C-alpha cells in the first residue's frame, strides 16, 4: 500500500473536526486499525508473528492518546494574504513585509498543484499548514530607556524563516486529517530509520572487525619473525593485547546489531521503542511572545507598545521544531509562476 494512503483511517478519527473519545480511553477498533497500518508501513511480514497485535497494541494506544491531546490543541486557522498582514498581529510578526506573504504562497508547489487539479477547479480557497523556523538573536540597537534615547541597548530580535505551506485541502477537517497522516508517517519513518541505521552500523562493524582481524594477524606474523634478524625488534605485545580487546568488543557489538536485524520480533521492539514514547518524537507546545513592530522582544512589564502573541510550536524529534499555523489561502492571492520566476531573478541581481 502506498504511503499516501497509510494511516488515513486513524488520522481521520484523531485529527478531524472534533476528535472523539476520552483523553485516557482509546477505542479497540482504532487501535486495531492503527496496528495494521503501522505493520504495513514498517514490514508487512510482521503479521506472520503469532500475537503480533497484542505485542504492539499497548504502545499504539499510548501514541493515540498522546496524539489526541495534540489534535485538540491545534490552532484555529487564520487568513493568509498580503492584505491581512497589516491587520493581523500574528501574521505581521511571522512575515517581515506584506510582500513576503504572496511570495510564500507562490513558493508552495503543493498549493499550486492543489488549485491546478481538475477536481478543485471551482475552489476559491484552500486550507493549509504553514510552518517556519523561529530564531532569536542578541543585537545592539537604539531604544528609549528612562525617557532617553540610547543607541547601545542589547535587544533580542525575533525572526521567522523557511516559510513552507503543506497539506492543502478544500476544508479544515481535510487539512487536519492530512497533517495527522503525515505525523503518523513520520513515526513510521523513525522506526525504519532505526532499522536501516542498525543495518548500516552492522556493515561498519563488519568492516571494522575485518580490519582489526587483519591487523592482529599481521602482528602475530611479525612477532619473532625473520625481519628481526638485524636486532632492535619492537615489543608489540601491548598493541596485540589492545587490538584483541577492541576486536572482542567489535565482535560483540556486531553480533548484537545483527541480532536486532535478523528477526521480525526485533522489528516489533523497534516499533515499540518509538510508539511507547510518543512525546519524545511528537509534541505541540505554546510559546508566549511579546514583540514590537520592529520584531524586537519586549519585556512583559514594559510600557512599550507591543503585541502579545501565542505561538504554536510542533516538535518532531531530532531537534526539529517549527512554528505552525493553519491558514486559509485564496486562489486570487497565488502569484503566477512567471511572476515568481521574475521575483527570484530580481533577488539574485
Residue 5 lies in a domain: no
Mean pLDDT to the nearest integer, 126-143:
88
Mean pLDDT to the nearest integer, 63-88:
91
CB 167 within 8 A of CB 178: yes
Q: Which residue has the higher pLDDT, 1 or 235?
A: 235
CA distance 298 to 301: 8
- Give the DSSP H/E element, type plus range, for residue 130: strand 125-145
Mean pLDDT to the nearest integer, 12-26:
65
Question: Could you give the number of structural domains in the chain?
Answer: 1
Residue 284 lies in a domain: no
pLDDT tens figures, 166-201: 999 999 999 998 998 888 888 988 888 888 777 667
Residue 88 lies in a domain: no
Residue 120 lies in a domain: no
Q: Which residue has the higher pLDDT, 234 or 177?
A: 177
Q: Tell me the pLDDT band of 208, cut-offs 50, 70 and 90.
A: confident
Picking from 83-87, 178-182, 210-214, 311-315, which range would have the lowest pLDDT averaged per residue?
210-214
What is the pTM assigned to this prediction?
A: 0.75
Picking from 126-140, 239-253, 258-272, which range would have the lowest pLDDT averaged per residue?
258-272
Q: Range of 217's domain?
A: 193-275
Mean pLDDT to the nearest integer, 323-333:
95
Residue 224 lies in a domain: yes
Residue 264 lies in a domain: yes
Q: Tell me the pLDDT band of 17, cut-offs 50, 70 and 90.
A: low
Q: Tell me the pLDDT band of 265, cut-offs 50, 70 and 90.
A: confident
Picking from 35-39, 152-156, 180-184, which range would have the lowest pLDDT averaged per residue?
152-156
Residue 253 lies in a domain: yes
Residue-level pLDDT at 147: 64
Residue 256 lies in a domain: yes
Cell numbers at 247, concatenated: 576486536
CA distance 144 to 26: 55
Comparing CA positions, the residue from 170, 92, 161 lying closest to residue 331 is: 170
CA distance 284 to 68: 11
Q: Tell me, what DSSP letter sits at residue 328?
A: E
Contacts 24+ apart (CB under 8 A), 315-321: 315/282, 315/283, 315/284, 315/285, 316/183, 316/186, 316/281, 316/282, 317/186, 317/190, 317/280, 317/281, 317/282, 321/133
Amino acid at each position: 500500500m502506498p504511503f499516501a494512503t497509510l494511516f488515513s483511517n486513524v488520522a481521520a478519527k484523531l485529527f478531524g473536526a472534533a476528535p472523539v473519545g476520552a483523553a485516557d480511553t482509546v477505542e479497540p477498533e482504532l487501535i486495531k486499525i492503527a496496528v495494521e497500518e503501522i505493520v504495513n508501513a514498517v514490514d508487512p511480514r510482521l503479521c506472520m508473528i503469532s500475537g503480533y497485535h497484542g505485542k504492539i497494541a499497548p504502545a499504539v494506544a499510548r501514541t493515540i492518546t498522546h496524539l489526541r491531546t495534540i489534535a485538540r490543541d491545534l490552532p484555529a486557522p487564520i487568513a493568509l494574504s498580503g492584505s491581512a498582514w497589516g491587520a493581523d498581529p500574528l501574521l505581521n510578526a511571522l512575515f517581515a513585509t506584506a510582500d513576503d506573504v504572496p511570495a510564500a504562497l507562490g513558493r508552495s508547489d503543493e498549493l499550486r498543484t492543489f488549485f491546478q487539479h481538475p477536481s478543485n477547479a471551482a475552489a476559491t480557497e484552500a486550507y493549509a499548514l504553514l510552518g517556519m523556523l523561529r530564531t532569536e538573536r542578541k543585537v545592539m540597537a537604539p531604544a528609549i530607556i528612562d525617557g532617553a534615547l540610547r543607541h547601545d541597548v542589547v535587544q533580542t530580535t525575533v525572526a521567522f524563516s523557511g516559510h513552507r505551506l503543506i497539506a492543502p485541502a478544500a476544508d479544515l477537517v481535510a487539512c487536519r486529517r492530512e497533517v495527522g497522516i503525515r505525523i503518523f508517517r513520520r513515526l513510521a519513518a523513525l522506526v525504519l530509520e532505526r532499522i536501516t541505521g542498525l543495518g548500516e552500523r552492522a556493515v561498519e562493524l563488519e568492516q571494522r572487525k575485518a580490519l582489526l582481524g587483519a591487523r592482529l594477524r599481521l602482528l602475530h606474523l611479525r612477532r619473532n619473525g625473520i625481519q628481526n634478524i638485524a636486532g632492535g625488534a619492537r615489543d608489540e605485545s601491548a598493541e596485540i593485547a589492545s587490538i584483541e580487546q577492541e576486536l572482542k568488543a567489535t565482535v560483540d557489538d556486531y553480533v548484537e546489531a545483527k541480532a536486532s536485524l535478523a528477526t521480525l520480533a526485533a522489528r516489533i521492539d523497534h516499533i515499540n521503542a518509538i510508539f511507547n514514547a510518543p512525546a519524545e518524537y511528537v509534541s505541540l507546545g505554546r510559546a508566549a511572545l511579546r514583540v514590537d513592530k520592529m520584531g524586537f522582544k519586549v519585556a512583559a512589564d514594559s510600557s512599550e507598545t507591543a503585541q502579545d502573541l501565542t505561538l504554536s510550536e510542533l516538535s518532531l524529534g531530532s531537534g526539529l521544531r517549527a512554528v505552525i499555523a493553519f491558514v486559509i489561502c485564496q486562489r486570487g492571492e497565488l502569484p503566477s509562476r512567471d511572476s515568481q520566476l521574475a521575483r527570484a531573478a530580481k533577488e539574485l541581481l
